[in-house]
């Protein structure tokens, strides 16, 4: 039984690590793409600074994913434990 629990914890930790890795890959991609977009914008049409629009989108997506990843999961786990405790009381 304990071995099964350890395997489940390992799978959960591995899944969480994959999500964190995806977040850092996305963050790195945004940081690498941003200077390229700024360069292209300034080279082609410096009067219209359109690079702010994708930057704003990157920011919102990064903040949303970070919120989900670093706070959303904990909230879900706490709520699941609370619901299990309520079920056991009844």
In tens, the pLDDT along 50-78 reads 999 999 999 999 999 998 888 876 777 77
- Give the integer Cα–Cα distance in Å for 86 and 10: 27
pTM score, whole prediction: 0.69
**In 1-90, alpha helices (H):** 2-44, 52-67, 73-89
The pLDDT, as a whole number, for residue 27 is 94
- Give the integer Cα–Cα distance in Å for 65 and 81: 23
Tokens 């997506």 belong to residue:
61
- Give the integer Cα–Cα distance in Å for 82 and 57: 35
Comparison of pLDDT for 25 and 7, the residue scoring more? 25
């Amino acid at each position: 039984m304990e071995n099964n629990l350890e395997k489940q914890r390992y799978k959960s930790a591995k899944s969480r690590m994959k999500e964190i890795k995806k977040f850092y890959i996305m963050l790195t991609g945004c940081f690498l793409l941003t200077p390229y977009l700024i360069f292209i914008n300034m080279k082609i049409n410096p009067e219209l600074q359109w690079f702010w629009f994708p930057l704003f989108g990157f920011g919102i997506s990064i903040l949303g994913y970070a919120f989900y990843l670093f706070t959303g999961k904990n909230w879900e786990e706490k709520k699941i434990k609370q619901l299990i405790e309520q079920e056991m009381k009844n």
